[in-house]
Amino acid sequence: MVERERSRRAVLKGGGALVAAGLLAGCQSGDGTTAETTTDATTTTETTTEQTTTAEDTSYSVSMEPVGDVTFEEVPETWLPYTGDYADMGVALGQADGLAGIGVPSRYGTHHYAELDGVSVDKESLTTLYQDGTGKEVFYSVDADIHVIDPNFMVNRLQWEQSDVDEIANGVAPFFGNTIFTQVYDWHDYEYYSLYEAFEKLAEVFQERERYEAFKTYHDEVVADVQSRIPEETPEIALLYPAGVPPESFYPYLIGEGTASKQWRDLSVDDALAAAGVTDAQAGGATIDYETLLDIDPDAIAVRLSGNISEEYFQENIVAPMEEDEVASRLTAVQDGRVFYGGLTYQGPIIHLFQLETAARGLFPDTFDADEELFDRGRVSDIVNGEF
- Please tell me the least confidently modeled range out of 35-44, 188-197, 307-316: 35-44
Instruction: Provide mean pLDDT across the span 52-64.
Output: 75
Instruction: Note the pLDDT of residue 56.
Output: 52
Q: What is the pLDDT of residues 84-107, one digit of tens each?
A: 999 999 999 999 999 999 999 999
pTM for the model stands at: 0.86
Q: What is the mean pLDDT of residues 323-347?
A: 97
pLDDT at 172: 98
Kindly state the percentage of the chain with pLDDT values over 90.
83
Average pLDDT (117-125) is 95
Which residues lie closer than 8 Å to 13 by C-beta, 6 or more apart?
20, 61, 69, 70, 71
Please report the pLDDT score of residue 221 as a whole number. 98
pLDDT of residue 352: 98
Q: What is the CATH number of domain 231-384?
A: 3.40.50.1980
For residue range 134-145, what is the model confidence (pLDDT) as tens digits? 999 999 999 999
**Hey, what CATH topology would domain 2-217 get?**
Rossmann fold (3.40.50)
Does position 338 have pLDDT exceeding 60, yes or no? yes
Average pLDDT of the chain, as a whole number: 88
Residue 58's pLDDT band (cuts 50, 70, 90): confident
pLDDT at residue 295 in the model: 97
* 53 vs 256, higher pLDDT: 256
Q: For residue range 242-267, what is the model confidence (pLDDT) as tens digits?
A: 999 999 999 999 999 999 999 999 99
| Average pLDDT score over residue span 27-46 | 36
Is the pLDDT assigned to residue 42 strictly greater than 60? no
The full 3-state SS of the chain, as one line of letters, equals CHHHHHHHCCEEECCCCCCCCCCCCCCECCCCCECCCCCCHHHHHHHHHHHHHHHHHHCEEEEECCCEEEEECCCCCCEEECCHHHHHHHHHCCCHHHECEECCHHHCCHHHHHHCCCCCCCHHHCEECCCCCCCCHHHHHHCCCEEECCHHHHHHCCCCCHHHHHHHHHHCCCECCCCCCCCCCCCCCCCCCCHHHHHHHHHHHCCCHHHHHHHHHHHHHHHHHHHHCCCCCCCEEEEEEECCCCCCEEEEECCCCCHHHHHHHHCCCEEHHHHCCCCCHHHCCCCEEHHHHHHHCCCEEEEECCCCCCHHHHHHHHHHHHHHCCCHHHCHHHHCCCEEEEECCCCCHHHHHHHHHHHHHHHCCCCCCCCCCCCCHHHHHHHHCCCC
**Does 231-384 match 2-217 at the fold level?**
yes
Annotated domain spans of the chain: 2-217, 231-384
Mean pLDDT of 155-177: 97
Percent of the chain with pLDDT over 70: 85
